[in-house]
Amino acid sequence: MNASPKLRLGFFTLLLIVVCVGISYLTVNLTRTASHFSEDLHAGHHELHQELSLTDSEKKVIEAFESDYQKERILLLEEFNQRIGTLGALLVSHDEWNSDVEHAIHELHVVHGQLQKLSILHYYQMLEVLPPKKQQKLRELAAQALSVPE
């Protein structure tokens, strides 16, 4: 049995609305996720310093390399947010998977990897400064943070 043209048009209109709403939802959540990612990293880093109960002398040594870490992190987070925006725009403007979308995902992963590497290098810098008990605490906190799925 053939569906009437009006019924087919109605079905396709409804399908188009569902797809548009889905893409809008995804784009908004990608942007929100990038923003929360940035906030969570900053809050988590501050909590880490508190959790380790850093002495004034430990803080002073860490502050010597902390500003370079923070500057680089801010630049990478800006790039991360830009890449999220690019991917979101592509999801809105493209109706199917294509090389532009694939490239945008790859570029987002590259920046995310750079952020992870920067954090791990900073972890090792901090590890060098801390006494053995605080090194162990930092190791435990790092392992715990890595075990939490995103």
What pLDDT score was predicted for residue 42?
Answer: 54
pLDDT at 129 over 70: yes
First to last CA, the chain: 48
Q: Dump pLDDT digits (tens) for 31-86.
A: 454 445 445 545 566 777 788 889 999 989 999 999 999 999 999 999 999 999 99
Please check whether residue 145 is in contact with residue 44, taking contact to mean a CB–CB distance below 8 angstroms.
Answer: yes
SS3 18: helix
In this prediction, residue 22 carries a pLDDT of: 47
Contact 49, 69 (CB under 8 A): no
pTM of the model: 0.66
Distance separating alpha carbons of residues 90 and 134, to the nearest angstrom: 46
Identify the three-state secondary structure at position 96. Answer: coil
- Predicted pLDDT of residue 1: 54
Half-sphere exposure of 143 (CA within 13 A, CB side): 6
User: Would you say 127 and 135 are in contact if contact means Cβ atoms under 8 Å apart?
Assistant: yes
Domains along the chain with CATH numbers: 5-146 (1.20.120.1490)
* pLDDT for 19 beyond 50: no
Task: Give the pLDDT of residue 17.
Answer: 52
Provide the residue type at 42 as one letter: H
Q: Is pLDDT at 18 greater than 50 in this prediction?
A: no
Task: Say yes or no to pLDDT of 150 above 60.
Answer: no
pLDDT at 37: 46
